[in-house]
Structure 1
Amino acid sequence: KKLPTEAISGMPFPSTKAERFGLIQEELAHEPFKLIVAVIFLNQTTGKAAIPMFRKFIDTYPTIDDIANASVDEIATLIEPLGLQNNRAKILINLARTWLSKPPTKGKRYKTPQYPTKTDSNGIKLSEVLADDDERIGAFEVGHLPGCGPYALDSWRIFCRDKCRDLAAGWNGEGAAEGFQPEWMRVRPTDKELRAYLRWMWLKEGFIWDWRTGETEVASKEELEKA
Structure 2
Amino acid sequence: MSIPREAWQLLVEFKLSPDFLSDSSLSDAPSDFDWDEPDLTPILPVISFPPKSPPCVPLSTNENPRTPVKGTSLLIPESNKAPRVKSAKLSPYFPKVLADAESCLPFPSINVPSFGLIQEQLAHDPFRLLIATIFLNRTRGGVALPVLFKVFDRYPTIEAIAAADESEFVSMIRCLGFQNQRARKCIALAKTWLTNPPHKNKRYRKLHYPRKLDGRDVGRDECINEEDLRVAWEIAHLPGVGAYSLDSWRIFCRDELRDKASDWQGTGATEVGFVAEWKCVLPQDKELRAYLSWMWLKEGWIWDHNTGDLTAASDKMMRAAHSGGVAHEEDGNWVLETSPVKAVNGLHGSE
Q: TM-score, normalised by structure 1?
A: 0.94
* Structure 1, unpaired ranges of 5+: none
> Once the 2 structures are TM-superposed, how far is the Cα of residue 124 of structure 1 from its aligned partner?
1.1
Partner Cα separation in structure 1 for residue 114 and residue 125 of structure 2 = 17
- Which of 134, 147, 167 is matched with 1:53 structurally? 147
> Once the 2 structures are TM-superposed, how far is the Cα of residue 117 of structure 1 from its aligned partner?
0.8
- What are the residue-to-residue correspondences of 1:1-227 with 2, within 5 Å? 8=103, 11-137=105-231, 139-177=232-270, 179-227=273-321
Bigger Rg, structure 1 or 2 = 2
SS at match of 2:107: coil
Deviation string 1:38-94 (CA, Å, 9 cap, x unpaired) is 010000100000011100000000000000001110100111111111111110110
> Once the 2 structures are TM-superposed, how far is the Cα of residue 15 of structure 1 from its aligned partner?
0.8
* Structure 2, unpaired ranges of 5+: 1-98, 322-351
SS at match of 1:103: coil
> Once the 2 structures are TM-superposed, how far is the Cα of residue 179 of structure 1 from its aligned partner?
4.0
Partner Cα separation in structure 2 for residue 158 and residue 179 of structure 1 = 18
Partner of 2:93: none
Partner Cα separation in structure 1 for residue 309 and residue 315 of structure 2 = 19
Partner Cα separation in structure 1 for residue 282 and residue 194 of structure 2 = 29
Deviates most, 160-169 or 213-222? 213-222
Partner Cα separation in structure 2 for residue 179 and residue 118 of structure 1 = 28
Give the 4+ runs in structure 1 shifted more than 4 A.
Answer: none
Partner Cα separation in structure 1 for residue 288 and residue 184 of structure 2 = 26
Deviation string 1:8-36 (CA, Å, 9 cap, x unpaired) is 4x541111111100100000000000000
> Once the 2 structures are TM-superposed, how far is the Cα of residue 171 of structure 1 from its aligned partner?
0.2
SS at match of 2:194: helix
Partner Cα separation in structure 1 for residue 219 and residue 284 of structure 2 = 25
Deviates most, 144-153 or 123-132? 123-132
> Once the 2 structures are TM-superposed, how far is the Cα of residue 118 of structure 1 from its aligned partner?
1.3
Structure 1 counterpart of 2:197, one-letter code? P
> Once the 2 structures are TM-superposed, how far is the Cα of residue 152 of structure 1 from its aligned partner?
0.2
Deviates most, 166-175 or 217-226? 217-226
Percent identity between matched residues is: 52
Bigger proportion of residues as helix: 1
SS at match of 1:217: strand
Structure 2 counterpart of 1:110, one-letter code? Y
> Once the 2 structures are TM-superposed, how far is the Cα of residue 147 of structure 1 from its aligned partner?
1.0
Structure 2 counterpart of 1:188, one-letter code? L
